[in-house]
Amino acid sequence: MANILIVEARFYEHLNDLLLEGARGAIEAAGHSHETLTVPGALEVPGAIALAADKYDAFVAIGVVIRGETYHFEIVAGESARALMALTLDGLAIGNGILTTENEAQALTRARPTEKDKGGEAAKAAIRMMELQQAFAG
């Protein structure tokens, strides 16, 4: 049984609750344990994962970034994804469930476990990457 850390950017609480429901359900269905760590926003998720890198078997990044009126959306969406990819290339098993949407309706559709279940998909991706990591390690 693996121990998986869910790192959530808790900016949109109602959307995160849905993403967390999906992620936790997928992890538990696979027979693994999990803990959740909350950070202020999507830009802090990769840093928290880096700090916890030696303590968990896999990571699920959860959060929502909704386009606003400024360029800030592009910075947050792009840089959080870039940093998560860098950690993945460094060998960490990470599933990226940070939603980047145009509006709340798109985010709701993607977050709900009964619809697109992006939290559950991110957890399944993290588990698969962990399995690959273990296969190549041994």
The span from the CA of 7 to the CA of 5, in Å, is 6
DSSP per residue over 87-107, as a string? Answer: HHHTT--EEEEEEEESSHHHH
Residue 134: strand, helix, or coil: helix
Strands 94-101 and 58-66: parallel
Instruction: Using a pLDDT cut of 90, give the percent of the chain over it.
Output: 94
> Is the Cβ–Cβ distance between 29 and 15 less than 8 Å?
no
- Determine whether the annotation assigns residue 103 to a binding site: no
* CATH superfamily placement of domain 51-138: Lumazine/riboflavin synthase (3.40.50.960)
The span from the CA of 34 to the CA of 54, in Å, is 15
Known catalytic residue: 34?
A: no
- Determine whether the annotation assigns residue 51 to a binding site: no
- Which are the contacts of 70, defined by CB distance < 8 A and separation ≥ 6? none
* pLDDT score of 134: 95
pLDDT at 138 over 80: no
- Determine whether the annotation assigns residue 89 to a binding site: no
Mean pLDDT of 14-24: 97
* Run of H or E residues at 119: helix 118-137
Q: What is the mean pLDDT of the chain?
A: 97
pLDDT tens per residue across span 53-100: 999 999 999 999 999 888 899 999 999 999 999 999 999 999 999 999
pLDDT tens per residue across span 34-45: 999 999 999 999
* pLDDT score of 70: 86
pLDDT at 122 over 90: yes
Residue 59: strand, helix, or coil: strand
- Determine whether the annotation assigns residue 70 to a binding site: yes
Domain positions in the chain are 51-138
